[in-house]
Structure 1
Amino acid sequence: MRRRDFIGTAVAAVVSGASPASAACGASQAGFQPCVFQALPNRIAGMSLEELRDEYRDRLFHRYLPFWDRGGFDQDLGGFMCELNDDGSVAGDEKSIWYQGRAIWVYSFLYGHFGKDERFLEIARKTKDFMTKHMHAGGGRWHEKVRRDGTVLEGPGKNVYGALFAAAGLAEYYKAARDPSDLDLATQSIRAAVVAYDDPGYSDTHTTQYTAVAIPEKGARSQGHSMVLVWILSGLVAVHQDPRLEALLREHVERIMNGFWNPDFGIANEYLAHDYSRLPEAAPHMFAGHALETLWIVMHEALRINDQALFTTAKDRIRRLLEMCWDYVFEGWGDGNFFVHDTPEHHRGPEYEIKTMWAHCEILIASMSILEYTGEVWAKEWYERARAFALKTMANTGHGVWRQAVDRFGKDVKRVGVGSHRKDNFHPPRMLMMNLLSLQRMIANAGKLTPFPQ
């Protein structure tokens, strides 16, 4: 066994309380095989699976969701305002298309997977009705921001993320309510976004504010766009057969795994040229948070289509990125810019100056899924490590909603482009729901791996 893997296994055994006999490790002619629990552990993070499930239910249903009832959800007009004070009162009344689409997705998913609670569906419906009435600019294009009453503050954006999040919400709401008009608008929005993105003159002003590498002002391809498309389409084609959407899904999985992934350095490039060729200046660069999130989304698509080879490739890349970008001194993950080489402006490796809440949520989704389906010991170790850091530094706000980001030492820090009052209505609830579903399956399986769908 390689020294790194021996050390990782030993650490995992200590952290998990597992004995060496409870995990099988070995090598074959095909190469090193990771250590795997012979039976899935019945304790994670010092708790039984039932205790962890109950804790997450409490965090979701008794802390996170009630916060939004205090002002974030507009009870009168529908829609969500995300510029909020810590007591839940409204600090700014704008409604962004990103957070309307995401909210519709969250509450529709809650309805569909957690007891068919009509109140969740009603929140999703009122938000959907507000969004389609006041924010649809026609033809699948969407206004970026409106005031509480629907007065337009900012018209259709130069990037397509808003339209894609609107489509995500509509698609998930369609699963819950089965209104064909919602499906039609979701698919129209996806197609309009793809047309805009495929234009050589397309400019992604959102993504460029976060990057530290020079990219073309127009026409560059972004891994984040492929990520969101795969996330939406994987859920949509499961309930709606459409050969064009299925082809689009396959295309962007391929772009992610064999285009954005750079085998020369073992990283995922965030940016490519318009023809998906490598950009020389961006080739040694990675936006780590997007890279890991993208890989778990591909991993879940692999589950849907029962492609174990694709799942394994995505899973192994997730492990690599976790190990490459972890802050082994102060804990937490360097989820921003990563450079293979030193540059005049940046040191090689990850940047630890800011550690975002959303990226740590992605680690918790990814590692829990890997543990559930493979039983690999390292996934439990990294789950517990990321969870401990996130709870200690991000979830300790006292009002249920996690802080946006912390610095290297775990202190509150402002993200670029994010207001000081911004509260997140998407990443933590998505993580909590995904983890709850995994835990429920693991409990039901009584120590056995969750089988791949057939």
Structure 2
Amino acid sequence: MQEGIIDGDGSLFLDQAYQTVRFLQHNAFLENGNCAFLLSEEGEKKESIPGKGMDISIYADCFVILGFTEYAGVSRDEQVLDEALRLYDHLSERLRRGDYRTEPYPIPEGYKAHAVAMIMLNVTQELGRVLKTFRHERREELLEASGRYMCIVMEEFYRADGSIAEIIAQDPEKNEDELLTRHMNPGHAIESMWFVMTTAEELEREDYIHKVCIAIKKAFELGWDELHGGLLRFVDKEGGPPKGVTNGNPFETLILDTWDTKLWWPHSEALYATLLAYAYTRDNEFLRLYKQTKRYVFDTFPNENQPGGEWIQIRNRKGHPVEKVVALPVKDPYHIIRNFLLIIELLSKQI
């Protein structure tokens, strides 16, 4: 982020970031080079699912790479950047071999998940961005990798109508009638599209930026709750509640049990993505969608009983607080802070 945009003592945040990096360096890594998914406050590795082991999700590794990369970019710490690259190389080899897991919602055999290509698109574009500031010899390699993951998202998961599939089956016939392959996650799709926009601009892929704009509008068309406002968590690819044949996968239960909840983090993604799309295209429809989302967000998520405290991040369809975990509890702090910083930076350029 550009310096001088937000008031405050940046050294305090940099020191906290340094402590976090050191904590992860000392505690997060397993002997096999993978990252543990869960640590105690003291740094003890723990099993989040008893009997499943410590390294149950590659997303943990991805977020360590992202954290190390961002810290290295701000602090100019080449050692931490090298660690991020080593973990990226290790992760890339695991992906090549198919030797990875995505708990607590494993990808069934014979299926591919949009989330894997999507997170790797973000990992490679952020690594590439920071490598560029270091004039690093691997900068072009990471840019090319970012382009490959962008193409996977836009060629394999982009449906003909502009919607983004979350899961696709290797057997095309299954894509027609199964819950897993029919459902979509509007907020996730919108987040993915600003990742694509970022790399598409750098690679001068105007065709992809055009498709991104269609996808964002489609996600709002299918996902926006016309009755109560806000983005539904999951919908069918044709709109409305998710439907289709089920096979007993735990992810299906999550979809059916929480489809009509309203989560804070997808709305923060929608705020940034619509504003970024407007900056690229000057299409007033994106400005309208931004304002629509902003109204819902500030009418729904603030905690009226704690003016200076945490917003209530999980709501039911009518916008009332829900006292249970319906998504990984770490998601909201990460997404929300990132998107608000990005929005401030984008608005500072007087779009």
TM-score category, normalised to shorter length: 0.7 to 0.9
2:226 is the counterpart of 1:328: yes
Instruction: Check conservation: 2:186, 2:231, Cα contact below 8 A.
Output: no
The residue number in structure 2 matching 1:416 is 326
Q: What is the CA–CA distance in structure 1 between the aligned matches of 2:156 and 2:339, rounded to whole Å?
A: 27
2:185 is the counterpart of 1:287: yes
Measure how far apart 1:415 and its partner are: 3.5
Instruction: Check conservation: 1:163, 1:193, Cα contact below 8 A.
Output: yes
The residue number in structure 2 matching 1:271 is 167
C-alpha change, 1:138 and 1:301, in structure 2 (3 Å) is farther
SS in 1 for 2:349: helix
The residue number in structure 1 matching 2:148 is 251
TM-score by length of 2: 0.81
Q: What is the CA–CA distance in structure 1 between the aligned matches of 2:263 and 2:3, rounded to whole Å?
A: 28
Paired residue total: 321
SS in 2 for 1:261: coil
C-alpha change, 1:336 and 1:316, in structure 2 (3 Å) is same
Instruction: Check conservation: 1:202, 1:219, Cα contact below 8 A.
Output: no
Instruction: Check conservation: 2:2, 2:345, Cα contact below 8 A.
Output: no
CA-to-aligned-CA distance 1:391-410 (integer Å, 9 cap, x gap): 11112353343322211100
Measure how far apart 1:117 and its partner are: 1.6
Q: What is the CA–CA distance in structure 2 between the aligned matches of 1:425 and 1:146, rounded to whole Å?
A: 17
2:125 is the counterpart of 1:234: yes
Can you give the 5+ residue segments of structure 1 that lack an aligned partner in the other structure? Answer: 1-108, 209-214, 443-449
CA-to-aligned-CA distance 1:95-141 (integer Å, 9 cap, x gap): xxxxxxxxxxxxxx587965782111111101101111111225641
Higher strand share: 1
The one-letter amino acid paired with 1:235 is: E
Q: What is the CA–CA distance in structure 2 between the aligned matches of 1:231 and 1:119, rounded to whole Å?
A: 27
Can you give the 5+ residue segments of structure 2 that lack an aligned partner in the other structure? Answer: 48-52, 132-136, 247-251, 253-257
Q: What is the CA–CA distance in structure 1 between the aligned matches of 2:285 and 2:148, rounded to whole Å?
A: 31
Return the structure number with greater relative CO, CA threshold 8 A, min gap 6.
Answer: 1
C-alpha change, 1:117 and 1:200, in structure 2 (3 Å) is closer
Identity %: 23
The one-letter amino acid paired with 1:248 is: A
Measure how far apart 1:277 and its partner are: 6.9
TM-score by length of 1: 0.64
Equivalent residue runs for 1:92-171 within 5 Å: 109=1, 114=6, 117-138=10-31, 140-154=33-47, 156-171=54-69
Measure how far apart 1:276 and its partner are: 9.9
2:283 is the counterpart of 1:376: yes
CA-to-aligned-CA distance 1:213-237 (integer Å, 9 cap, x gap): xx62x46422112111111211221
Instruction: Check conservation: 1:143, 1:157, Cα contact below 8 A.
Output: yes
Equivalent residue runs for 1:187-206 within 5 Å: 187-200=85-98, 202-206=100-104
- The equivalent position to 1:356 in structure 2, one of 243, 263, 270, is 263
Q: What is the CA–CA distance in structure 2 between the aligned matches of 1:203 and 1:112, rounded to whole Å?
A: 41
Q: What is the CA–CA distance in structure 1 between the aligned matches of 2:66 and 2:5, rounded to whole Å?
A: 16
Which of the two has higher C-alpha Rg? 1
SS in 2 for 1:262: coil
The one-letter amino acid paired with 1:272 is: I
2:224 is the counterpart of 1:316: no
Instruction: Check conservation: 2:58, 2:100, Cα contact below 8 A.
Output: no
C-alpha change, 1:365 and 1:250, in structure 2 (3 Å) is same
SS in 1 for 2:225: coil
SS in 1 for 2:229: coil
The residue number in structure 2 matching 1:430 is 338
- The equivalent position to 1:262 in structure 2, one of 137, 149, 159, is 159
Measure how far apart 1:366 and its partner are: 0.6
Q: What is the CA–CA distance in structure 1 between the aligned matches of 2:77 and 2:162, rounded to whole Å?
A: 44
Q: What is the CA–CA distance in structure 2 between the aligned matches of 1:427 and 1:148, rounded to whole Å?
A: 22
CA-to-aligned-CA distance 1:297-334 (integer Å, 9 cap, x gap): 11122233343332222122111211221111111111
The one-letter amino acid paired with 1:238 is: R
The one-letter amino acid paired with 1:437 is: E
- The equivalent position to 2:311 in structure 1, one of 390, 397, 402, is 402
SS in 2 for 1:303: helix
The one-letter amino acid paired with 1:424 is: D
C-alpha change, 1:230 and 1:189, in structure 2 (3 Å) is same
Q: What is the CA–CA distance in structure 2 between the aligned matches of 1:174 and 1:278, rounded to whole Å?
A: 46
Higher helix share: 2
